[in-house]
Amino acid sequence: MNMKRILLSCLLVSLFSCLPVWSQTKLTAEQQKEIVAKVDKGASAMTQMQCEFSQTKSMKLLSKEMQSKGVMYLKKPDKLRWQYTSPYDYTFIMNGDKVQIKSTKSTKNIDVQGNKMFRQITNIILNSVTGGTLKSSNDFTVEIYKADAAYYAKLLPKKKELKQLYQYLEIWFNPALTMVSSVKMVEKTGDVTVVKLTNTKIGVAVDEKLFAIH
C-alpha cells in the first residue's frame, strides 16, 4: 500500500513537472515606469477607435458562465459607445457628462456628474479600454507584470466605493503595448468578468452620431 502511494506520488510529481509553467514576473518600479510611459504614448496617440468585444462572466454561485458580445466605439476624450448585440440588445453611450442606457425595454439618461458611483464606473470603463487607468493613481494601486510575451497591469482599488465592488482588475496589453487586448474584473463576491477586445481599428473615423444622446 505504501509502495503504491509512493509510486502514485512520483507519477503526480512527474506529471505536473511536465506541464508548461505559465511564468509571470512583477516588474520593478523602474521597469513599470517604462511600460506605463509606452502604454501612455500609445493611448495618447489614439484619438478614436472601434472594435468588437466578447464578454464572459463566471458566476461563482451558479458555477456557470454568461457570454455576450458586441461592438465598441471610442472617441477621445470622453465619448464611448459600448453596445451588446448578443444575446441581448443593450447600449451604453457616454458623451461628456451624459450617459444613456438603452435596452429593449427602456431608455435611461443619467447625468454622471451628479452620481459619484456612476462617474467612477464610467471612468474605469473609458480608461480601461484606452489603458489610461495606469496613470490615474487616485483610484488604483497599479502593479505591472510580464507574462510570457505579454504585459498586464493589476489594479487594486484604493477607494472604499471601488473596494466594495472589485477585488482587483487586470488590464492586458498586446505585446507591442499599443492597445488593450482584454480586461479582467474580479468582483468582491468572487465572480469574474473577462472582456476581450478583437478586430481593433485605431484611427478610423468614428461617426459622431453613434454618441448622440436624445
Partner 1 sequence: MAQEAGDSVVSREYNLLMQVKGQELTSICMMNISPDGSIVGTVVNEMGMKAFDFTYNHGKAKVLNVVAFLDKWYIRRVLRRDLAYILPKLEPDQECHYKRRWITYTFTPMNNETD
Which chain residues interact with partner 1 by CB under 8 A? 55, 57, 59, 61-62, 64, 66, 68, 82, 84, 87-88, 90, 92, 103-106, 108, 117, 121, 161, 164-165, 185, 187, 189, 191, 193
Q: Which residue, 33 or 116, is less far from partner 1 as judged by CB? A: 116
Q: Which is nearer to partner 1, 90 or 168 (CB)?
A: 90
**Cell 477621445, residue located:** 76
Q: How far is the CB of 166 from partner 1 (least distance, A)?
A: 10
**To the nearest whole angstrom, how small is the minimum distance from the Cβ of residue 213 to partner 1?**
17
Residues whose CB is less than 8 angstroms from the CB of residue 119 and which lie 6 or more positions away in sequence, other chains included:
112, 113
Helix (H, G, I), strand (E, B) or coil at 22: coil
Q: What is the smallest separation between the CB atom of 123 and partner 1, expressed in angstroms?
A: 14
The answer to whether the Cα torsion of 107, 112, 116, 118 is positive or negative is: positive
**Of the two residues 175 and 190, which places its CB atom closer to partner 1 in the complex?**
190
Nearest to 56 by CA among 69, 45, 38, 39: 69
Q: Extract the C-alpha cell encoding 87.
A: 444575446
φ, ψ for residue 167, nearest 5 deg: -75, -50
Minimum distance, C-beta of residue 127 to partner 1, in the bound complex (Å): 16
Grid cell listed for 139: 483610484
CB of 9 to partner 1, least distance (A): 36
Nearer to partner 1, 186 or 202 (CB): 186
Q: Which one, 161 or 208, has the nearer CB to partner 1? A: 161
* CA end-to-end distance (rounded Å), the chain: 75
In whole angstroms, the minimum distance from the beta carbon of 95 to partner 1 comes to: 17
Q: What is the distance between the alpha carbons of residues 134 and 128, in angstroms, rounded to a whole number?
A: 9
Pick between residue 151 and residue 172 the one whose CB is nearest to partner 1: 172
The three-point CA angle 166-168-171 to 5° equals 120
